[in-house]
Amino acid sequence: MTGIIDYGAGNLRSVANAVHALGIEPRLVASPEDMAGLTHLILPGVGSFGDCMGELEKRGLTASIREWVAAGKPYFGICLGYQILFDESVETPGVRGLGIFPGKVVRFTEDGRKIPHMGWNSAVPTDPADPLWTDLGAAPYFYFVHSYFPVPADPAIVAMTTEYGETFASAIRSGQVTGCQFHPEKSQQAGLHLLANFLGVAVPAVV
């Protein structure tokens, strides 16, 4: 049973459609009570770091997400759902993230490159043997839309890197926690394969 966290924003429909295409009927999670019986949790995200944390707190979900992760249950954070795993973001100074991993979310340097980073780009796994990357190839392409990205304090959790004027951690993995800066739900077959690997299901022959 897969839950998708609803904090009043985010690509809920797109993510739900992607999960549904894999043969799973997801549950929207808007309160801690909605998490009962779930096996996997996905937090999609658009908007600002501060707004996301504020809405999660208002719904009583921040403590529940921390407890979920501490219990070793599978969590997948997409874009902002990835960023809030860390301590803080320069986007909204003074607002604390979930603090599950030490690190800070920073903005791309203003050096002439187009910001936000938008469009298709490759993500290179640091451990190609990780089963999460099964059937994705050596450098799969995913769809990105972001101006900010996390800088983990512990490089050991970096699971994918991407080049956009600089090298940044486009995905992390630690235990049952996965976070990615790109959008699997907008990344066609590569995105479906990644979600399928996370959920432990096969990609249908026709989706």
Hey, which residues are catalytic here? 79, 183, 185
Check: CB of residue 5 under 8 Å from CB of residue 43. Answer: yes
Radius of gyration of the CA atoms of the chain, in A? 16
Separation CA 19–CA 38 (nearest Å): 14
Residue 107's nearest CA partner among 154, 51, 48, 55 is 48
Length of the chain: 207
DSSP code, position 36: T
Task: Provide the token pair at 151.
Answer: 């800088």
Check: CB of residue 94 under 8 Å from CB of residue 49. Answer: no
Residue 52's nearest CA partner among 38, 65, 39 is 65
Backbone angles phi, psi at 32, to 5 degrees: -55, -35
